[in-house]
Amino acid sequence: MAKLNRRQFIALGIGGAGIAVAGNWVRQKTIYSQPVPQSSANPAPVYQSSDGLLELDLEARERLVDLGNRQASLLTYNGQIPAPRLEARSGDKVRLHFTNNLEQPTNIHYHGLHIPLTGNADNVFLEIESGKKLTYEFQIPNNHPSGTFWYHPHLHGLVAEQLFGGLAGLFIVRGEDDEIPELKAAQEEFLVLQDFSINADGKRTNSAHMSLMMGREGELIAVNGRINPSIALIEGRGLRLRILNASPSRFYRLALEEHSFFQIATDGNSLSKPIEVDELLLTPGQRADVLVRGDKESGQYRLLNLPYDRGSMGMMGGGMMGGRGMMGRNNQDEPITLATVNYESAVESMALPSRLNSISALPKPQTVRRFELNHGMSPAVGMAFLINGEPYRHDIIHTQVKLNTIEDWELINTGVMDHPFHIHGNAFHIISRNGQPESLLALRDTVLVKRGETVRIRIPFRDFAGKTVYHCHVLDHEDLGMMGNLMIEA
């Protein structure tokens, strides 16, 4: 093969299969699930690090995308819905040459990764104007857990709109979990859940004010950029599903007909052992890794999204606006089929790993703080979403903590809607809900605080000093003020 420069190489690589180049270049493969007939055929290319480096060009631009049964003009990274999956290992360097060809400014956040929060790393205060470029560069720490992370835009005020346009992709850290024999033996599939609001011409439609208050939801749900894709199990193998809720506001309450899930990870972090559950509730931002035993009759099983009520504007909307129907369709009454799992012959027995990761409880906190989540009128901005009675402001530090300390945060939802609370940069443990100790020891970066609930979390602020944010991951709430600046002081 003649020598190409990196740009030519990448241009050729997109859509091509199995091209691998040695050296410092990006190794790129297009992975389709096997076997091919009616498989989930995740069409997004995968970029994997090699020799300790993950380097690629990433361009944000609006593009006409084929969702399987229809075309839509969406906001994409490298023309793909979902965005290309990035895969690196702990200790790897990441160099991402980003070009913003959107009509708006944007930036990139690496959700859940424990990496520097300043400079050209996981810095949500960067603003890349339309037509401009920026190279993101950071190293994934050597002791970084393997897991399911993701990337998406994070420019305050435009976050919900840009995610709703489609800008989101997986960032997988490969490592110790991938070496566990039972996980290696399973068929690995990724599910990126996104919803869109598209009119007959394939154009994105604007959300009404009330649905922004509720958090916008689209009538079209895509899984890996497809409507109801099939996942065909390879004979004799169980399934390892790695699921991301990349919707700005929609909650997914997942169930697979006749099968339970064996959850092995919450957000990016593995549990100490698999936990059997019938349903998975994923708020925006959350991930779950689960194993599925294909041990039933051969056939097709629907992965369903069950109804979930995340609250409503109640008093404000109820009478005046004609009830919940207008508040953003958060209350569908019927299960919706998201994907279909099928297999020809039952897997006799799929071994579950007896042990995954050792998680130990954190020591007692040095500091306890409380954060009240609600919405209300704010003199400066009108109706806003508030933390401790205040909407987000760029120019102040809302919370200052010390590096290498542990804090408990009490998250109190006094409002009428659920709020999934997310902190950048450091994963945390849930200590209690409404005073009841949480029995599952797990690390998360996003926790659901239901209306009326008080959730206590314990956060270790490790390794990286600097300014970052915490916020509600219903991204309209975030854009409408439910965010705070967090300064981690060295």
Which partner, Cu ion, ligand C2O, none, binds residue 474 by CB below 5 to 8 Å per kind? Cu ion
Looking at residue 48, its amino acid is Q
In this structure, what token pair is assigned to residue 93?
Answer: 């360097």
Pick the closer one to Cu ion by CB: 134 or 386.
386
Which partner, ligand C2O, Cu ion, none, binds residue 324 by CB below 5 to 8 Å per kind? none
Give the count of alpha carbons within 13 A of 184, CB side only.
Answer: 8
Pick the closer one to ligand C2O by CB: 117 or 406.
117
Q: 250-261 burial, b for 16+ CB within 10 Å, e for fewer?
A: bbbebbbeebeb
Pick the closer one to ligand C2O by CB: 49 or 245.
245
Please tell me the distance from the alpha carbon of residue 144 to that of residue 178, in angstroms, as a whole number.
14
Pick the closer one to ligand C2O by CB: 166 or 238.
166
Question: Is residue 375 within the footprint of Cu ion (CB under 5 A)?
Answer: no
Which partner, ligand C2O, Cu ion, none, binds residue 250 by CB below 5 to 8 Å per kind? none
- What is the radius of gyration, based on Cα positions, of the chain? 22
Please tell me the distance from the alpha carbon of residue 212 to that of residue 45, in angstroms, as a whole number.
32
Site string for Cu ion, 462-481 (x = CB under 5 A): ----------x-x--x----
CB of 282 to ligand C2O, least distance (A): 13
Cα→Cα distances 205→77, 159, 208, Å: 20, 16, 9
Question: Is residue 444 within the footprint of Cu ion (CB under 5 A)?
Answer: no
Pick the closer one to Cu ion by CB: 254 or 472.
472
CB of 418 to Cu ion, least distance (A): 7
Neighbours of 94 (CB within 10 A): 22
CB of 111 to Cu ion, least distance (A): 4
CB of 324 to Cu ion, least distance (A): 17
> Which has the closest alpha carbon to 233: 171, 273, 290, 292?
292
Of 419, 429, 456, 471, which one interacts with Cu ion (CB under 5 A)? Answer: 419
Pick the closer one to Cu ion by CB: 108 or 186.
108
Question: Is residue 94 within the footprint of Cu ion (CB under 5 A)?
Answer: no
CB of 212 to ligand C2O, least distance (A): 18
Provide the phi-psi class of 111: left if phi over 0, else alpha when psi is between -120 and 50, else beta.
Answer: beta
Mark the segment that binds Cu ion (CB under 5 A) among 104-112, 138-146, 217-225, 229-237: 104-112
User: What is the binding site for ligand C2O (CB under 6 A)?
Assistant: 109, 111, 152, 154, 285, 422, 424, 471, 473
CB of 421 to ligand C2O, least distance (A): 11
Question: Is residue 168 within the footprint of Cu ion (CB under 5 A)?
Answer: no
- Are 153 and 162 contacting, i.e. CB atoms less than 8 angstroms apart? yes
CB of 391 to Cu ion, least distance (A): 13
CB of 283 to Cu ion, least distance (A): 9
CB of 5 to Cu ion, least distance (A): 34
Question: Is residue 89 within the footprint of Cu ion (CB under 5 A)?
Answer: no
Question: Is residue 114 within the footprint of Cu ion (CB under 5 A)?
Answer: no
Question: Is residue 111 within the footprint of Cu ion (CB under 5 A)?
Answer: yes
Pick the closer one to ligand C2O by CB: 226 or 422.
422
Which partner, ligand C2O, Cu ion, none, binds residue 472 by CB below 5 to 8 Å per kind? Cu ion
Which residues are at the interface with Cu ion (CB under 5 A)? 111, 419, 424, 472, 474, 477
